[in-house]
Chain A
Amino acid sequence: MPQNLKRFSFTRRTATAMLLGAAAATALPGMGMAQEQVTLQAIFLPATWGVVVRDVLAPQYEKETGVKVDVQLVGRDAIHEKMATLFAAQDPSFDIFNLDYSWIPEFGAGGHLLPLDDLLSEDDKADLFKTALEVGSWNGTLYGLPQTIHPHVLWYRADLYADPEVQAAYKAKTGSDLAPPTTMAEWLQQAAYFNGTQYEGQTIYGWAAQAAKGFGNVHTWLTFLYGYGGSAFNEDFSASTLSTPEAIAATKQWAEMMKYMPPGSSAFTYDDVTTSAQQGTVATALQWSWGAFAVDDPASSKTVGDWQFVEVPAVEAGGQSHPHLASWVISVSKYSKHADEAKKFTAWLETKANDVLQASLGGGDPVRASSYSDPTLTEAKLEGSDVLRFRRYDVVLKAMQNTKPRPFFPGEEAWETVVSGPLQAIQLGEKSVEDGLAEADAAVDRLLSR
């Protein structure tokens, strides 16, 4: 075959192949419509429940349904920023968001979240904690399906409290028997006693709790405020009520307690409290119930099995505490292009079986009351020990009966930022309780006027 003819033949074959390719490419999208794999984009907190969703549940869901869920783990403040900017632009890039419940009023009122009421049967509604559903709702519509709840509970070092030598020394010094505190006065006395003492070769401090400026110190202080019967706002959220006798008494107790935390505690975050508990450098801690999994992890903790949990002490003997509630919910973006699929995945994540599975993998405390009696959880023990893994559950159930959420209104995120500064001035002794709270009142009222 002449050379130029060969070249012509090759060119013709190439052109034909390209034409066929182009035709196939044009036809395929139409043919593939029915089988197109949906990929949901989700943002979760990089806490254990977010990791469990990314590493275990999302892959399992894809196996079961063919729907891929791409989970990104993003820090708390970054989630809030991302949601605000994506929603402002009505951007459909993400379908599912993991929310701190305090953002529900903000984004619910803005109309950026899809109602999820239709995902729940009557049985579901009866089984899910009422408070958890309330903080996932705004104006009677459910916008966030609860994924985890964790009220404040009091942690105490059971080995320390049970040590006869420690008990005797405590009795000699205070005249009281050493037992987990049931009142704020007892807790203060114990924190003051233990602060700076030596135990098993290391210095221990009275207690640890979140105290960093931003939201940490506010979250801890709220448990004191609620315990003393205080409230941050009047009923319609039109005025700050931080200078009431209850708020002043609560803040005085909180500020007094702050003296018995480890050095550098004014910057303590959730992680710092966990580390202190893991290292055994504190006698007690006010921490989220869920965080207990970390102290039972032999890879990072020196105090595996040593911590026990009781309700937050009440103001007076026989009284009732009102611990501050933390909870994370799952919401679907109104701008999602796969809203139905996103809602299905959200509902699937919180079925009874998955509620238990998530908890068993350390992914937060269950949101269904029935999960707290599931043998998978109640009978689970720490490896090589008789200590129950989820020994905190009785206390969590009690705490859930009296827990209170953060001020539930659209400006909560800004509110806690504003209140945090004056509270830190009080905790560092730079301002008196009265002056600090008056300043906080003025700052909040100013915020409301904006």
Chain B
Amino acid sequence: MPDSTATLTRGAVHRSGRGGWSWFARRYGAILPMAPGMLFLVVMSIYPTIYSLVISLFRWNLSDPTRMRFGGWHNFGLLLTDVTFWNAVGVTFKFVLIAVSLELILGLAIALLFFQRFPGDRFLRALLILPMVVAPVVVGLLSRYMLNVQFGIITFLTEALGLGRIDFFGEPNLALGTLIVIDIWQWTPFMFLIMLAALQGVPEDIIEAAKVDGARPVRIFFDHILHLIRYPVAVAVALRLIDAFRVYDIIFMTTRGGPIDVTQTLSWQIYDAGFKSLDIGYAAAYSWLMLIIVVATVTLVLRLLLNEQASR
């Protein structure tokens, strides 16, 4: 039966001819509604992406835009042999992996707390998500003032506690850690929200059955709940990884890549190359290498997460 239907349909198309509106509508009707979106995608995303790849192959400084020389892999070669590039890769990985891991653990832990109803839980939930709705640039500014070693409120606290003045953004051993803590403060609520929604979607009968079987809460969590929420966890981790790789605003408002180069992430380096040195070709090559790193890392982490969970 399916075969004869297909034959009939093809015949009908043939009879109506190829030039008519009805043929066009049948042939492309499904695509037409998507056309504006596709066009938007091409203009706003695909073209710039290809263009950036093209200019990454050129030696091109924006201060003299008419002088554009083809350099082939010159920019990529320079980058891959540049110690500052590898330093930025290291700094970015430290930032991303530590921040996102801790946000995941904390977000899940807080979600488990809020999974049980308790008085005032709604109010507290609303309070918890407040940092997430503040613009990162504002978070950066607030942090700069709060942690200012001369007059910041945190400095008053550390002095009151007998710890003396701590230069959170100026001390090479503390600066990156401070940025990670700020990121965790801002983005743990995002993890919490997704984890809470995921936990609320876990079928209660599975938990009840495990309880009847005599499983302890810890075993229920690791053996059942974690497995059931693996996809929301994967989505949350992927989103946060991508976002954390792009970190820029907080660095701009606080350390500006310093002290020395300890907070010099990939995105900060791209800004330096593109807007301080105006070396657009180099910055484009930098962006492409960063894109490859982000895609590879996210893919790897997702595989690890989902395979790990699936194998349980």
Binding site for B on A (CB under 8 A): 77, 80-81, 84-85, 87-88, 106-107, 109-112, 212-214, 262-267, 272, 275, 410-411, 413-414, 417, 421-422, 424-425, 428, 430, 443, 446-447, 449-450
Contact = CB atoms under 8 A, between A and B. Distances in A.
B167 A450 contact: no
A413 B277 contact: yes
Nearest to B149: A264
B148 A212 contact: no
Given A428-B172, A447-B277, A263 B257 contact: no
A51 to B, nearest CB: 22
Given A262-B150, A263-B167, A417-B272, A84 B258 contact: no
Contacts of A262: 150
Interface string B68-102: 00000000001000101000000000000000000
B63 A264 contact: no
Nearest to B277: A414
The 4 A-B residue pairs with the shortest CB-CB distance in the complex, in nearest-first order? A264-B149, A213-B258, A414-B277, A266-B170
Contacts of B282: 450
B224 interface: no
Contacts of B15: none
B149 A421 contact: no
Nearest to B278: A84
Nearest to B170: A266
B256 interface: yes
Nearest to B276: A417
B258 A106 contact: no
A208 to B, nearest CB: 11
A60 to B, nearest CB: 34
A87 B65 CA distance: 8
A430 B150 contact: no
A109 B64 contact: yes
A89 to B, nearest CB: 8
B63 A106 contact: yes
Contact of A430 (B148, B169, B260, B272): B260
Nearest to A410: B63
Most chain B beta-carbon neighbours within 10 Å: one of A264, A411, A413, A443: A264
Interface of chain B: mostly helix, strand, loop or mixed? loop
Contacts, number: 98
A424 B259 CA distance: 7
B275 interface: yes
Contacts of B148: 264
A84 B259 contact: no
Interface of B: 59, 62-65, 78, 82, 84, 148-150, 165, 167, 169-170, 172, 255-261, 264, 272, 275-279, 282
Contact of A266 (B84, B259, B272, B278): B259
A442 to B, nearest CB: 9
A107 B63 contact: yes
A334 to B, nearest CB: 12
B63 A424 contact: no
A111 B272 CA distance: 23
Given A213-B257, A411-B277, A417-B276, A85 B62 contact: yes
A444 to B, nearest CB: 12
18 contacts: A84-B275, A84-B278, A85-B62, A87-B65, A110-B65, A213-B256, A213-B260, A214-B256, A264-B148, A264-B150, A267-B170, A414-B276, A417-B276, A421-B258, A443-B84, A446-B82, A450-B59, A450-B282
A213 B264 CA distance: 11
B167 A413 contact: no
A134 to B, nearest CB: 20
A84 B63 contact: yes
Given A106-B63, A262-B150, A263-B149, A424 B277 contact: no
A180 B149 CA distance: 29
B63 A212 contact: no
A424 B257 CA distance: 11
Contacts of A411: 277
Contacts of A264: 148-150, 165, 167, 170
Contacts of A110: 63-65
A110 B64 CA distance: 4
A263 B149 CA distance: 7
Contacts of B256: 212-214
